[in-house]
Each structure stands twice: as structure tokens, then as C-alpha cells.
Structure 1
């Protein structure tokens, strides 16, 4: 069984070349892998390389890719460094064809996600070879290197029409999509379905998902939403506006500061949670004060990995208990907010021009490029399904938020 534990920051001694003295450096903790209680050396060395050498800001997809690959190897009794001569018998190709591509075909995984996972596995093997953890030969190698010609686009395309990049025959092709097709907001029926499933989840996960669905927050922003911003509000007010960014601990994209809108119904739900016995018990387990609102039962702030696990369980609940196919990511909740909220601003009763409505959405969602926001308008214009304003989201939210919820 593969388990992952987030290690604490640590110090290590280093020997300076041509010098007898030793010094110590502070290194960041990283996701540490154990298999049946045994330390998984190659993965953990790679994790340390990504965090403390490459200084990667986010390795969530790396963790998901390598853990999926390692579990696949275990279930099929394959070795990570033994590669038979026949390509179809190599573990990397078996993983690509029988796991990733099969999941894409079944609708359980996006082709872009599968491509990212496969690329991480390729990078892992390239790193392992460089560090001499594995030896490659003409017969014993995980993939074939290829050189792919890419057509140049842009101002100088007439001078240099193509450029060549190094790739491998393991790469997974991703169908080209228009910017509008890349949006995958929930339909009205899917929002209702998800709200039913959300009622069965923990209060912390409910709040996180509602921050994405009702406020358009990214997954990291909802995880790091600070407790000090939570307050009890006049229920007669519709929305309140708060500023988020590095100044109050919210991990916004590009470290930008922006103002978001929060429905008072959701803010009051967060306030009840803030002062609840449940949160106080969890906070008491922490070694130091926690600034974030949402706390795990171990006394730690929620991470994106934890939210992804909860979301996967919720998706399985929809499939198994509600007997419905539900192929969405947590980020699609943010897209749902953008489309429904923009549709509400464009309603004739509101009277806003498309330019003014776009400006508001761009500010609330923290889009750096207005082209990103225009995708939502194009999606609404091209969508055959009617989007009946944001009041629909309010109705769904009221079904999830219960004034008499148990927070003990």
C-alpha cells in the first residue's frame, strides 16, 4: 500500500569543496512516499529535487502522476526499472495504454491531464538516469526519443516556419480545442446533482466548494481563505465584498490583490463554522496558531491534495449512489460561477453593458488578461442551454447551507 506523508522542513549538513568546515542549510519539506511502510527512495529523491533544487512552486500534478504510476506498477507486479525488449511489455507503455488512455476513453480522465501525467513520468526517468539511479541501454530503456517539428506562429513565422523539439513516443496527443471548449462549467442539472452530493460531505469541504462555486475562487485561494476575514453579516444584505491577496495570506495567482464578492448566506455559514466546537477542537491539535479558516481533523490547514481527494470521493459518490456520470474537476466550479454570474449581469433587468459586465467579472475572478474573460461571454453566446442568472446558484446554495447544521 502506497502512503504519502508531508514531511516538515529540515536542516542538512553540506561539505564545502576544498574546505574542512561544514555548514547546514534549511530545506523545505516535501511529499514523502512509503510503500508498505518502506521508504520509497527514488520517488522521495525526485520530490526533494523538485522542491529544493528546481524550486517548483506546485508539484501537485507530479505527486498525482507518480503515485498513480507506482500503484499501477504494484497492482501489475511490475518493476519501475526493468524494461523488456518488446515495447508492449515495458511498464511505461503498459501504464500509458492500459491505465491513462483507457481512462481517457472511459471518460474518467481528460486527455490533457493524461498527457501531463505521462510527461511527468518521462521527466522522472530522465532525472533518474541523470542521477545514475537507473541504467539505460539499447535494449533496456523506458521510451524512444523523438524529434517533433512544430509549426511556428507569430510575427516571424515567415522567416522560420518550423522549430524542432525533443519528445518521446510515449507522448499523448491532446485534441485541439477552442478557448470556449476549454471551459467546462456545470449545467443546471449538474449543479443540482452536485449540491445533493455535497450535503453528504464534511462542513469544511462544503465551504471550500461553495467558495469556488459562489465566489469564483481558485482551489488554492479557497484553501488559504483566512479566518480573520470571516464575520457575521446582516442577512438582509445580498453580498459583501472583501479583498484577498498575499497581504492577508491568500495564495492568489501571480500574487495579485483583488476584491471578491461573497454571498452573506455563505459568509454566515463560515462564521458559524469559525466559532463552532468542531473547529475549536481541530485548532487545539495544531502546534501553532492557524490563520486559515478550514482545518483538517489533524489540526492542519487544508491542502489542494486533500481537496482533490475529497472531490474524487464525491465524484465516486455521484457515480455509485446517484447513478449518474459526472466528469468535472474542482476548477469547473470556478468556471460555473463565471458563466452564471456573467449571465446575470447581462440580464436586461440589470441593464449593464457587456463591457461593464466583463469588467466586473474580470475583477472578481482575478483574470490578468481580458481574453480569458471574453471566453465566458463567447461560451454563453454559443451555448444552446439557457443560463438563468446567478439566482439559480443562490437557490442551490440555500439547499446546501442549513442553519441547524451539526458543528460539534
Structure 2
């Protein structure tokens, strides 16, 4: 079957019907797609090499195209098979396969067909396939979004009749479609990790402490260094909060390169600084690290920086252990839920005083680029509170004395 190689990709140009290596252009990606016979899918390779976006997006595109190539081979269909009959076209059939083989609330089919369609759009723009080739019908759709101050707006966007509607699960959720943990479950998880003496659990405990009490994303946490902590300054309005600079120039990565501070409550700051300077597991790993990595807060057992993939693997193993030990509420645990939990509890406390103040504070604490993201926390809590009251009233009225 088709596969992806992750060695550095070589860029090529099409000259007189042949692919000639481009020795000047340096591609950003390291992903190359190959057919099962070992032949590279040159068009896909060039497409990935010319992508100018986040590496995580390029990786996602690569594996979506690999899945498409795998399906094409399994069904003996050429990737340029576009006959007059629409139902026989490769893209139409692939779309049908994605719908039939996936759960209704999964976002994978929608993402995968979009990735493949974008690849074909690029092929046409680059002149690598006939621009008159009939592959789909263009459509205009209206999407809803919230502006920077929380008002709902609409926008008309261009799409195709191949798009797959993604029906979200019928739950009230936050960033990334995730639910926060309850305070009780948060503490259960932290106590479970703290009680286990395995090196991996010690590291996961420190990671989740940062996630739950600073709300930092894992991409930020992975890049925190000891010098970042030592350069922290007390908040001017509350000396019990330590501010750690993050964003461009600090070494700590942030989404959209937002510049600001990670907020550390003093006990959390003291705990993490102590972990950095005295934890035996960390010091042993620091000794194995090269000079440029020694000050990183979190290191693998080889003394290397953690990747998001290695973090995800560790969380996956933790989920299995939690379920095995009877803590089934964590069967679908994601690290990003720690951020959702932090934001929810912050919003809950500050909404006791004033909604506008809550929005401003949660926005700054979580380093949101747009206030519209912060609004989701306020709305989540208000909706949850209203739903609880409605449910209680419904139960009293509908079940009556039978179940009281």
C-alpha cells in the first residue's frame, strides 16, 4: 500500500515532460508520498514541498493524501480518473467511501476530502493537469462566526459539491471541541499521577499542573526553559502571581505568535521551579542533553525535547492505565482539557464580579488572540447553568413524586 517517508523532501520542476530536481528551492516539509511499488507520487511531493503553513498542517495534509493514495491503489483507480459520469469519478467515489466508513460526528472525512480537493486545486493552478478538467461543481455557502467582541456574523465562502458536512457532537464544548474536567476529576488525576513513582508519571504530573493552573498549551509548555522561570516578575497588581514572558523573543512558543505572559500562581511557580532544579529524573535527563537543550524544563529519557507526538503517546498510555485502574471517567482524556478546565474555573470565579471583567481576565490569562474565543467560556458557563436549572425543573414536573 502507499506510504509516507519522513526524510527531507527534494523539490522538482517539470521540464519537457520530465521531473528535474530543483537545487535552489529549499522545501519546508520533510514528507514524501510513495506508491506501493516504491515510486514517488511526484505531484503530491511537489505540492507538500511548496506548502507554506504550519508543520503540523503539512503533516496532516501528507497523511490525508497518503490515505487517498492507499484507497486509490486498493480500488485500482488512477488519481486522474474523471469520466463524464460523475458517480464514476475518483473523487466522487472517494467521498462516498469516506462517508460510509466513518462515524457521523467524526471530523476526519471533512478534513480529508478538503485536503485532497486543495491538492487538485493546486495542480490546476500550477498547470500540472488540464484546467478544463471537470472534477466538481463550485458552490457558495454561508458560515457563522463570532467577531472579536463576541457578536455573531456570517460570511460567504467558496466550496465544492464534494464537501462533507461535519455534524458536531451534541455537547456543549470549548476550544478544540473539548469539555473541561470537573474540579473533583482534576484533583483525582493529579493525585493519581503524584502517587505513582514512575519517571513518566512524575513528568506528566508536572505537565498537568502547568496545564490546569496556567492554562498554557502543550506547545508552550514544551518550550519553557529554566531561564524563563528565573526571569519571571511579580504581577504589579498581585504579587502572588508570577508573570513568565511568552511569545516571540522569549523562546516560549505561542499560538499565532501572540506576545504576553503565562500567569503562575505563586505556589505553582515555586513547585515548577523546584521541579526544574531538584527533580532527580529531570537532572538525569538534563545530563544527557546537548548544551542547547539542557535548560528545557521537560526532556525525554534520551535528553531530547519532547515532541507533540511523544506527549500524545504518553497521554494515550496514561488513559489506558487510568481505565485499567477503574478511573473510567478519563477514557477519552486529552491534555488540552487541562487548558479548558483552567479557563472554565477562571471564568466561573471572575463572572461572580462582572462578565466584562471575566472576559478581559480570561483572555489575558489564556493568551487568546481574539476575544471571540474567550466568549466561548462565558457562554459555556451560562448555557450550562441555564441547562441545569431547566433540567431540574423538567425532572420535578415530568417525573413528579414517582422518583422524588
Assess same fold via TM > 0.5. yes
- Write out aligned runs for 1:347-362 (5 A): 352-362=353-363
Match of 2:181 in 1: 187
Q: Does 1:60 align with 2:56?
A: yes
Q: Is the 8 A contact 2:4 2:66 kept in 1?
A: no
For residue 116 of structure 1, the aligned residue among 111, 114, 117 is 111
Displacement of 1:258 after TM fit? 1.8
Secondary structure in structure 1 of the residue aligned to 2:119: helix
Displacement of 1:171 after TM fit? 0.8
Q: 1:73 to 1:104 in 2, by over 3 A?
A: same
Displacement of 1:283 after TM fit? 0.9
| Counterpart Cα distance in 2 of 1:32 and 1:217 | 29
Match of 2:136 in 1: 144
TM-score (norm 2): 0.64
Query: Which blocks of at least 5 consecutive residues in structure 2 are unaligned?
Result: 14-21, 147-153, 233-238, 389-404
- Write out aligned runs for 1:91-102 (5 A): 92-93=91-92, 95-99=94-98, 102=101
| Residues 250-303 of structure 1: CA deviation (Å, up to 9, x unaligned) | 12234333222231334433444598343224414x7x5566433345654333
| Residues 33-92 of structure 1: CA deviation (Å, up to 9, x unaligned) | 466895744443222110xxxx32x14134224314524653772467444757667664
| Counterpart Cα distance in 2 of 1:163 and 1:383 | 28
| Counterpart Cα distance in 1 of 2:102 and 2:65 | 13
Q: Is the 8 A contact 1:294 1:301 kept in 2?
A: yes
Q: Does 1:302 align with 2:294?
A: no
For residue 263 of structure 2, the aligned residue among 249, 261, 277 is 261
Q: Is the 8 A contact 1:226 1:248 kept in 2?
A: no
Name which of structure 1's ranges 247-256 and 316-325 shifts more when overlaid on structure 2: 316-325
For residue 334 of structure 1, the aligned residue among 336, 339, 356 is 339
Q: 1:359 to 1:197 in 2, by over 3 A?
A: same
Q: What's the C-alpha RMSD, in Å, of the aligned pairs? A: 4.9
Flag the structure with more relative contact order, 1 or 2, with Cα contacts below 8 A and sequence separation at least 6: 1
| Counterpart Cα distance in 2 of 1:72 and 1:320 | 36
Displacement of 1:224 after TM fit? 2.0
| Counterpart Cα distance in 2 of 1:324 and 1:88 | 44
TM-score (norm 1): 0.64
| Counterpart Cα distance in 2 of 1:125 and 1:228 | 47
Q: Is the 8 A contact 2:285 2:302 kept in 1?
A: no
| Counterpart Cα distance in 2 of 1:37 and 1:333 | 44
Query: Which blocks of at least 5 consecutive residues in structure 1 are unaligned?
Result: 15-22, 155-161, 387-408
Q: Is the 8 A contact 1:185 1:339 kept in 2?
A: no
